[in-house]
Amino acid sequence: MSLQGKTVMITGASRGIGAETARVFADAGANVALLARSRAAIADLADELGDRALAIPCDVSRYRDLDAAVNATVDAFGGLDVLIGNAGVIEPVARLETSDPEAWGHVIDINLKGVYYGMRAALPVMTANGGGTIITISSGAAHNALEGWSHYCASKAGAAMMTRALDLENRGQGIRAMGLSPGTVATQMQKEIKASGVNAVSQLDWSDHIPPDWPAKALLWMCSADADEFLGQEISLRDPAIRARVGVGA
């Protein structure tokens, strides 16, 4: 699949799914805007990917950062065709009765409000140019409560519903809105979950997790017309039929 001449913005691009997504989209010919708080990490990744990559330090919990990032992307590449809302955190893992209210709220600021801010900043540019694709990284935690994850489950559930609202409101303006639930992925977040020792997910072996290039390849496929039947929906990479269509796994 070619995305030659197209521009994708990826939040949380410094590592894990975000970094692998940048590599997969760059290999497909896309311009990639890399957003993360870690200036050094995205600068290194931009150097790796070459002239079609732009590193933009950004805190997704602040709307002005995302609005400025969209403007910088348009200035550099002339437009914005794809937004991948990938930035997310899970720490600190804690039961409700012992959770720190400020830390709990900060997870909501990143995982939920950060998704909204990205959509809000990108939509005027995309709709003015006839449309675009906006994909939210979801989770099984959006649909199932897990001990110690009230902040993460609530934020992912909210982001999943917001993606459905985006489809309802903006499909007629050419916006392709979808969610991807990748399952458990071998990233730094899984190391944090393992260290917490809380709930069944922390007991999984590293070998149980899929590599981060699987969701990256799924995201590329979701930008194609072959995925149009899933507009407004959440795709699960646990589904063998989806894996077959993406071309990953057994």
Residue positions annotated with a catalytic role: 152
Find out whether 42 and 55 touch, Cβ atoms under 8 Å: yes
Q: How far apart are CA 63 and CA 100, in angstroms?
A: 24
Give the closest residue to 91 by CA, choosing from 203, 198, 189.
189
| DSSP-based three-state secondary structure for 212 | coil
Q: Phi/psi zone of residue 144: left (φ > 0), alpha (ψ -120 to 50 degrees), beta?
A: beta
Consecutive H or E run containing 168: helix 150-170
- 217 burial (CB, 10 Å; 0-12 / 13-18 / 19+) is buried
The Cα diameter of the chain in Å comes to: 50
Cα angle: 114, vertex 227, 240; to 5 degrees: 95
